[in-house]
Structure 1
Amino acid sequence: MLERHHLMILRAVDQQGSLTAAADTLCLTQSALSHSVRKLEQQLGTPIWQKEGRRLRLTQAGEYLLKLAERLLPQFEHAEDLMQQFASGQRGTLRIGMECHPCYQWLLKVVSPYLKLWPGVDVDVRQKFQFGGMGALYGHEIDLLVTPDPLHRSGLVFEPVFDYEQVLVVGPEHALFGQTRVEPEQLVPETLITYPVEPDRLDIFNRFLTPAGCSPLRHKQIETTDIMLQMVAAGRGVAALPRWLVEEYQQRLPLHPLRLGETGVDKQIFLGLRKDDVQVDYLHAFVELARQYNQPPA
């Protein structure tokens, strides 16, 4: 019969690269680990691995079980952590996933009062997920997902917490500096700097450039907001960011925001969570507090 320790073995071998290293990680002897796998293969009636020289290659059945392990084991581990926290009188850890790079400053404004209101709850912020933000929610890697682009799926709820406008930002020597708006064709000769996100998930592309049949001359990806805006201020390119964030940085950098097109590009930030967790008190409290901080940082 398939048991949890079988899934742990599969995950450990995949992560460590060998039976020996996996056995060490799981505090087992290699012979005990191998015996457990052989017994499982006999029970299932199909091999899990095939040997290729000194290497092991997962069979189709093994690949399926590995994916199962990657989905289920984080849920087991999360449940065990919660039980330990309940047993010790703690409320738990609120694990927040970020799919919105510029929202980190806003999140800090919410986390600070939240920690004071909920002294028994710790907060952990994660920006990289094994399966992406949606998969992280489904797989219990995180409890809340901060995203401007919710994908509504069964079992998940997305709560809007604040509105903002996406704008183009240029430096002081740029020809558009001082203008009020920009049209798609004006970005064709430009170097567009964005966060490391697929273009089809970026509003500057899917809501502004692509519908007009335009694309920038060059597309650079930079992970940090500070470096991105210093590049813009130095005339190395232009960027699309929330207006509130640009206005915050204008206090220390010579930047100018322009509306995207005649009507602009309006956006919302959402908090996504599992439907079963909507009424968990410390999760619900975070969502309500986030709505109170629906104005971006001053």
Structure 2
Amino acid sequence: MHKVLTDKKTILLLTLPGLFVYTFAILAPIFLSVYIGMTDWSGIDKPVFIGLKNFKTILFSDMTFWKSLYHALLLALSYLFIQHPIALTFAILIDKIGGRAEKIFRTIFFIPAIIPIIVTSRMWVSLYDPQYGLINKALDLFHLGFLKQQWLGDPKTVLASLIVIMMWQGFGWALLIYYAGLKGIPEELYEAARIDGATGFNLYTKITLPLLKPVIKVNFTIAIIYALKQMETVYLTTNGGPGDASQFIANYLYIKAFSSYQYGYANAISVLFVIITLLINILFLKVFKAENYEY
């Protein structure tokens, strides 16, 4: 066995199938997208090579692209600084409840994550309806009619309203990951800390949060990636409107490709999108450096 694992020809033969699949499933489409991004192509006629013109237009003239990217980054920050602290707090509370109630609340909070996106999107569109929606009806009921809005129809409120929908949809996953991380922390550590005099909030700042760092890192990474590639909810609720007030980069790419039939331009957006995503994740990993954690 040792001879097999040290033989370079054998290693090459064993890795060839994987390299073959990786090349044709990942590398080839990427290089093809780069090439198509350098063309003026409607998807029907023969592509016309135009070099870096599409990339220059996107980077220096296309304000919708930058606005869409800004919205995606704003969603990522909303995940990290609004959704995740709330999810972690509820995960801690559910973990401490115990018994049958723990299972019930764990299930209730995870329900939004298992409902199809098309169902939750249409539900929220109904809730936000300016005439018949439950949100405006509730405001009337509590004599707060002055707060009523056209939530998804007003450029001033549409982005915040859309972010609320997407945070609600992903809340269950964030909570579940934190909950699983909490279950992995040995109870003996808390008991030892209590013997040493630690109480209440100190237990969470000195034990829970430090030991949850690997879980927090994974959850944050998932949140950033999910925010950058967000498309389905946008398409099913506002499609980026009104105007481009709620446009996100993945949905903008889709519109350029399948509504405007600018396949060359859309591929240029996709290439820049991949590069930006990689850079953001590399920066995040640099900030959140890997550490060794032991219980």
On whether the aligned pair clears a TM of 0.5, the verdict is no
Which one has the bigger strand percentage? 1
Query: TM bucket by the smaller chain?
Result: under 0.3
TM-score by length of 1: 0.20
- Name which structure has the greater RCO, CA cutoff 8 Å, separation 6+: 2
Which one has the bigger helix percentage? 2
TM-score by length of 2: 0.20
